[in-house]
Structure 1
């Protein structure tokens, strides 16, 4: 939960900042949101879900900035205005461009923070985490060590990046053995191998998230936790569907379970976990878990 002082924190946002990135049809741009004051600020690089952009997810981003994080949001190629749909021949390679986008952001983070004003002096470059939702969660997983199985079940190349020391996967793609025929045809890359995702991470899932891409139920979104090595944390949100109350924005059309309290729960879970995982707030996660369990707001699992 935000403290009373944090809830009054002034934040600033700077956009667009162009990031050097080769092989892209359009420039890679990011938005940076941060507290207006403060030093030693940890950094979150956030990967959005399909069709969104750096302008989405304000309910999460604003709350993280108020809690003391610098948030960097790249716009991936699949943003809605680019009109690259499932039937576009470019769609099949966007998953890899997304991964390259996050590599570019991490590799050029100093330049991004410099262009965002005084953040190069106020941000803690040793405390960097990756967070993603939906397709963004699979993208983040790749940088944390997960790979992608090909049609023969052979894991692909290692696309991990050492620039982030922790991550959060929100509504992450499950394994590919239960994909629907549509997903098999249009989303063959939706076959993550979590056995190599060794970076510490929190997995967040809704217990009513029924994907149209899988024949399984909401348990599909637990694979990132169940099949990855320790250390991992799992938060399951009761009643949560794919946008977990509206994390992409208030009253957006994708939200099937509007609930402002659920959005705050997800935002605060990410902040508490990362403060703990990055060594900036020892005990933050255990306190959040105790308070949340006492209120009956979520269930937890862990492996160390």
Structure 2
């Protein structure tokens, strides 16, 4: 892997994709990529509740420096848009988020030339999705997860064959364990991972306790436990929902700030994406072996 600290990254924002019917707002996107190199794979990143294309610099900048084109849409729940809770679109924002990701994949022809010098350097056959928190649930549907209705019947299949791999960071677990408030107000938070067949790395903190669930931190391992392989699970010791600070540098919602933990996530997610997208360089095996051999590891890794 290249040295991310010395690689020049070029970003363009906002790149605007016109609104589709019912969205009401044009889709604003940030696109980041290394200044040089070709055959660059794509990572589409879905932010957590309230964030925007400007968040998650510790991941987006690192991945771009390591040779990925990182595309970050701003979903309708973003604080930058200020859509009120009583807006008629609010109950279906979960669905709009998924449509945003598909819109990005459909719009790569428009997004690619928005970054100076990027045209002709993108590998459309190597596409991954990643997300944190609500964003992780959003991207899981493109990996094959389904949303259950009130009777437990799976909703439509929204998986996307263009997506070859995924990274789920602090993804919410099964809906059977929601609090009464969450059941009433977040009915879409009932995923089934039984059909999530796309290769995926699940990252969970063993001190991540959600107010939406009656269970403990193991709730966030459900996407690994209840999905078929091939999957990997990185459990981070002592990590809370921000996983050490991935939403941004020194942001207020980070309750467990740990530069070392963020650095581990950077290394392992990059190595996983390179492996899952068939770089053929052995970086995932090297990173996994290094974590296992660490006398004071920050987490543990399992695969199936």
- Name the TM tier (shorter chain): over 0.9
Unaligned runs of 5+ in 2: none
What pairs up with 1:123-142 in 2 under 5 angstroms? Answer: 123-142=122-141
**223-232 or 112-121: bigger deviation:** 112-121
Task: Give the structure 1 partner of residue 10 of structure 2.
Answer: 12
The 2-side partners of 1:265 and 1:21 are apart by 37
1:223 matched residue in structure 2:
222
Q: Deviations over 1:11-39 (max 9, x none)?
A: 11101111244121110010011111111
Q: Cα RMSD between the aligned structures?
A: 1.4
- Tell me the distance in 1 between the aligned counterparts of 2:86 and 2:298: 40
Q: How many residues get paired?
A: 301
Partner of 1:56: 55
Deviating more after overlay: 213-222 vs 289-298: 289-298
Instruction: Give the drift of 1:105.
Output: 0.4
2: CA distance, partners of 1:89 / 1:180: 24
Native 8 Å contact 1:21 1:101 kept in 2: no
Tell me the distance in 2 between the aligned counterparts of 1:247 and 1:6. Answer: 16
Q: 1:300 and 2:301 equivalent?
A: yes
Match of 1:151 in 2: 150
Please give the alpha-carbon distance, in whole angstroms, between the structure 2 residues aligned to 1:256 and 1:27: 33
Structure 1 pair 287–42 and aligned structure 2 pair: CA distance change class (3 A): same
Q: 2:198, 2:278 → 1: CA distance?
A: 15
Is the CA contact 1:132–1:140 (under 8 Å) kept in the aligned structure 2? yes
How far has the Cα of 1:281 moved from its partner? Answer: 3.5
Query: Kindly tell me: are residues 182 and 86 of structure 1, through their superposed partners in 2, closer, same or farther at Cα, counting changes over 3 Å?
Result: farther
So what's the TM-score if we normalise by structure 1? 0.95
Kindly report which structure 2 residues correspond to 1:1-304, keeping only aligned pairs within 5 A, or say none.
Answer: 3=2, 5-23=3-21, 24-84=23-83, 88-295=87-294, 296-303=297-304
Secondary structure of residue in 1 paired with 2:80:
helix
Task: Provide the rounded CA distance (Å) in 2 between the counterparts of 1:232 and 1:224.
Answer: 9
Quick check: 1:166–1:200 contact (8 Å CA) kept in 2?
yes
Distance 2:83 2:285 in 1: 42
Please list the CA deviations of residues 239-264 of structure 1 after superposition, one character each: whole Å capped at 9, or x if unmatched.
11101111011111111101111111
Q: Structure 1 residues 260, 170: CA separation in 2 closer, same or farther (over 3 Å shift)?
A: same
Decide whether aligned partners of structure 1 residues 40 and 70 sit closer, same or farther in structure 2, where only a CA change above 3 A counts.
same
Preserved contact between residue 20 and residue 104 of structure 1 (Cα < 8 Å): no
Please tell me whether the aligned partners of residues 77 and 93 of structure 2 are also in contact (alpha carbons under 8 angstroms).
Answer: yes
* Cα deviation, residue 88, structure 1: 4.9
- TM superposition score normalised by structure 2: 0.95
Q: How far apart in 2 are the matches of 1:87 and 1:251?
A: 31
Superimposed CA distance per residue, residues 146-189 of structure 1 (whole angstroms, 9 cap, x where no aligned partner): 10011111110011111111111111110001111121111110
State how far apart, in whole Å, the 2-side matches of 1:66 and 1:269 are: 15
3-state SS of 1:184 partner: helix
Whole-angstrom distance in 1 between the partners of 2:220 and 2:56: 20
